[in-house]
Amino acid sequence: MDNRAVDTRRLAFLLELSRLGSMREVADELGTTTSTVSQQIAVLAKEVGTALVEPDGRRVRLTPAGRRLAEHAVTILAAVEAAQGDLDPSAEPAGTLRVGGFASAIRRVLLPIVRQLGQDHPRCGC
Protein backbone atom coordinates (compact mmCIF):
# COMPACT_ATOMS: atom_id res chain seq x y z
CA MET A 1 0.00 0.00 0.00
CA ASP A 2 1.40 3.42 -0.85
CA ASN A 3 1.16 6.63 1.18
CA ARG A 4 -2.27 7.65 -0.10
CA ALA A 5 -5.15 7.53 2.34
CA VAL A 6 -7.82 4.86 2.10
CA ASP A 7 -11.35 6.23 2.07
CA THR A 8 -13.44 4.48 4.71
CA ARG A 9 -16.55 4.83 2.54
CA ARG A 10 -14.87 2.61 -0.03
CA LEU A 11 -14.01 0.12 2.69
CA ALA A 12 -17.73 -0.07 3.43
CA PHE A 13 -18.39 -1.02 -0.21
CA LEU A 14 -15.76 -3.76 0.01
CA LEU A 15 -17.11 -5.05 3.30
CA GLU A 16 -20.64 -5.24 1.90
CA LEU A 17 -19.31 -7.05 -1.17
CA SER A 18 -17.61 -9.59 1.09
CA ARG A 19 -20.87 -10.10 2.99
CA LEU A 20 -23.33 -10.11 0.09
CA GLY A 21 -21.20 -11.60 -2.69
CA SER A 22 -22.56 -9.54 -5.58
CA MET A 23 -22.18 -5.97 -6.75
CA ARG A 24 -25.89 -5.84 -7.60
CA GLU A 25 -26.81 -6.83 -4.03
CA VAL A 26 -24.36 -4.25 -2.64
CA ALA A 27 -25.90 -1.59 -4.87
CA ASP A 28 -29.39 -2.53 -3.71
CA GLU A 29 -28.31 -2.58 -0.05
CA LEU A 30 -26.57 0.82 -0.25
CA GLY A 31 -29.12 2.46 -2.52
CA THR A 32 -26.75 3.10 -5.39
CA THR A 33 -25.92 1.64 -8.79
CA THR A 34 -23.86 -1.39 -9.69
CA SER A 35 -21.59 0.92 -11.68
CA THR A 36 -20.93 3.04 -8.59
CA VAL A 37 -20.07 -0.06 -6.55
CA SER A 38 -17.70 -1.25 -9.25
CA GLN A 39 -16.04 2.17 -9.53
CA GLN A 40 -15.59 2.49 -5.76
CA ILE A 41 -14.01 -0.97 -5.53
CA ALA A 42 -11.70 -0.12 -8.48
CA VAL A 43 -10.58 3.13 -6.84
CA LEU A 44 -9.99 1.31 -3.55
CA ALA A 45 -7.85 -1.24 -5.39
CA LYS A 46 -5.76 1.63 -6.79
CA GLU A 47 -5.48 3.18 -3.32
CA VAL A 48 -4.13 -0.04 -1.80
CA GLY A 49 -2.10 -1.00 -4.88
CA THR A 50 -3.48 -4.49 -5.44
CA ALA A 51 -6.42 -6.26 -7.05
CA LEU A 52 -9.31 -6.78 -4.66
CA VAL A 53 -11.73 -8.65 -6.93
CA GLU A 54 -11.41 -11.15 -9.75
CA PRO A 55 -13.90 -12.48 -12.27
CA ASP A 56 -15.92 -15.52 -11.27
CA GLY A 57 -18.16 -16.31 -14.22
CA ARG A 58 -20.57 -13.41 -14.61
CA ARG A 59 -19.87 -12.30 -11.04
CA VAL A 60 -16.76 -11.33 -9.11
CA ARG A 61 -15.15 -12.71 -5.99
CA LEU A 62 -12.69 -11.18 -3.61
CA THR A 63 -9.03 -11.96 -4.10
CA PRO A 64 -7.06 -13.12 -1.06
CA ALA A 65 -5.94 -9.49 -0.60
CA GLY A 66 -9.56 -8.36 -0.91
CA ARG A 67 -10.63 -10.82 1.77
CA ARG A 68 -7.84 -9.66 4.11
CA LEU A 69 -8.74 -6.01 3.56
CA ALA A 70 -12.44 -6.77 4.16
CA GLU A 71 -11.48 -8.39 7.47
CA HIS A 72 -9.52 -5.26 8.42
CA ALA A 73 -12.47 -3.12 7.28
CA VAL A 74 -14.62 -4.61 10.04
CA THR A 75 -12.21 -3.33 12.69
CA ILE A 76 -11.50 -0.03 10.95
CA LEU A 77 -15.15 0.87 10.40
CA ALA A 78 -16.07 -0.14 13.96
CA ALA A 79 -13.27 2.08 15.30
CA VAL A 80 -14.41 5.02 13.19
CA GLU A 81 -17.99 4.55 14.39
CA ALA A 82 -16.85 4.33 18.02
CA ALA A 83 -14.76 7.49 17.66
CA GLN A 84 -17.67 9.35 16.13
CA GLY A 85 -19.88 8.21 19.00
CA ASP A 86 -17.32 9.29 21.58
CA LEU A 87 -17.08 12.73 20.00
CA ASP A 88 -20.83 13.22 19.60
CA PRO A 89 -21.77 16.08 21.92
CA SER A 90 -25.24 14.61 22.41
CA ALA A 91 -23.88 11.17 23.40
CA GLU A 92 -24.27 9.75 26.89
CA PRO A 93 -21.27 10.72 29.06
CA ALA A 94 -18.79 7.90 29.64
CA GLY A 95 -15.40 7.57 31.27
CA THR A 96 -13.77 8.18 34.62
CA LEU A 97 -14.21 11.35 36.64
CA ARG A 98 -11.54 12.18 39.23
CA VAL A 99 -11.94 14.94 41.80
CA GLY A 100 -10.17 15.90 44.99
CA GLY A 101 -10.97 18.01 47.99
CA PHE A 102 -11.17 18.14 51.74
CA ALA A 103 -12.70 15.08 53.42
CA SER A 104 -15.47 17.09 55.07
CA ALA A 105 -16.53 18.68 51.78
CA ILE A 106 -16.29 15.40 49.91
CA ARG A 107 -18.62 13.62 52.37
CA ARG A 108 -21.14 16.44 52.57
CA VAL A 109 -21.16 17.74 48.99
CA LEU A 110 -19.39 15.43 46.59
CA LEU A 111 -20.58 11.94 47.59
CA PRO A 112 -24.29 12.73 47.02
CA ILE A 113 -23.41 14.18 43.62
CA VAL A 114 -21.31 11.13 42.71
CA ARG A 115 -24.16 8.79 43.69
CA GLN A 116 -26.60 10.74 41.54
CA LEU A 117 -24.12 10.90 38.65
CA GLY A 118 -23.70 7.11 38.82
CA GLN A 119 -27.46 6.63 38.69
CA ASP A 120 -27.97 9.12 35.85
CA HIS A 121 -24.91 8.05 33.79
CA PRO A 122 -23.94 4.43 34.53
CA ARG A 123 -21.20 4.42 31.87
CA CYS A 124 -19.23 7.00 33.88
CA GLY A 125 -17.86 4.41 36.28
CA CYS A 126 -18.97 6.17 39.46
DSSP H or E segment with residue 69: helix 64-87
In percent, how much of the chain has pLDDT > 90?
56
Nearest to 8 by CA among 98, 74, 59: 74
Domains of the chain: 8-87 (1.10.10.10), 92-126 (no CATH)
Which residues, in sequence order, are CB contacts of 69 under 8 Å at separation 6+? 11, 14, 44, 48, 52
Q: What is the pTM of this model?
A: 0.69
- Cβ contact 62:18 at 8 Å: yes
**DSSP per residue, 40-53:** HHHHHHHHHTS--E
- pLDDT range class, residue 107, cuts 50, 70, 90: confident
Encode pLDDT of 45-56 as tens digits.
999 999 999 999
Of residues 118 and 11, which shows the higher confidence score?
A: 11
Encode pLDDT of 63-89 as tens digits.
999 999 999 999 999 999 988 887 888
